[in-house]
Amino acid sequence: DVKVTQSSRYLVKRTGEKVFLECVQDMDHENMFWYRQDPGLGLRLIYFSYDVKMKEKGDIPEGYSVSREKKERFSLILESASTNQTSMYLCASSPVGQGAGNTIYFGEGSWLTVV
Amino acid sequence: QKEVEQDPGPLSVPEGAIVSLNCTYSNSAFQYFMWYRQYSRKGPELLMYTYSSGNKEDGRFTAQVDKSSKYISLFIRDSQPSDSATYLCAMKRGAGNNRKLIWGLGTSLAVNP
């Protein structure tokens, strides 16, 4: 089974702190994603990475950066956390392929509260 | 207008009922359609994946796509309390990477014993 592991499930951080959310996948997938999920707004893509050291902005990249130094690991960084970044963050991965072969797999989520 | 519309519910049904969950979309170029299930405080997991129009069945679940009406449905037969979750539809134009995946907001379903 594909496993996407998010190391921190629940975090509480102070405004202005630098926050790191870590994600590791074990299926050698090329593509990795960071989403945030909020009530009434659904899933919104923050950043996408299609290869090591390669990244592409998603729909809401402001206030975030990412790092992908190894294929299996994709980190989301909040440079200076703000209360409006309180949310559930979901990491995902998918292989390159056609049709059902490039299904996207999600981790269990990281619940971040910024106070 | 959002590209994908999904009634958030909540939808509450008795155990054993047939459940119908729906999404409408505006972009006629969408060809790949997916349904994900998300339990409370968990990540979404893929339930069904269909290409273009038609029906696809997997156990108690049937996914239906009507491209002429820009409407997709997920039917759950003999619903169980374990089906209580949020159901998300997702769709994209091409077979390529999921960077272009468009998500519905999700419908919350409660199946009561």
Map out the domains of chain B with their CATH numbers.
4-105 (2.60.40.10)
Residues of chain A below pLDDT 70: 1-2, 98-102
- For chain A, which residues lie within 8 Å of any Cβ of chain B, measuring from their own Cβ? 4, 31, 33, 40-43, 45, 48, 50, 56, 58, 90, 92, 94, 96, 98-100, 102-109, 111
pLDDT at B62: 97
* pLDDT recorded at residue A99: 63
- Tens digits of per-residue pLDDT, A88-110? 999 999 988 766 666 899 999 99
Which of A90-99, B15-24, B45-54, B67-76 has the lowest average pLDDT? A90-99
Tell me whether residues A42 and B95 touch, CB distance under 8 A: no
Q: Is the pLDDT of residue B96 over 80?
A: no
Residue A26 backbone phi and psi in degrees, to 5: -110, 15
Phi-psi region of B72 (alpha: psi -120 to 50; beta: other; left: phi over 0): beta
Copy the structure tokens of residue A5.
């592991």
Is residue B93 very low, low, confident or very high in pLDDT (cuts 50, 70, 90)? Answer: confident
Residues of chain B whose beta carbon is less than 8 angstroms from a beta carbon of chain A are: 8, 32, 34, 41-46, 49, 51, 88, 95-99, 101, 103-106
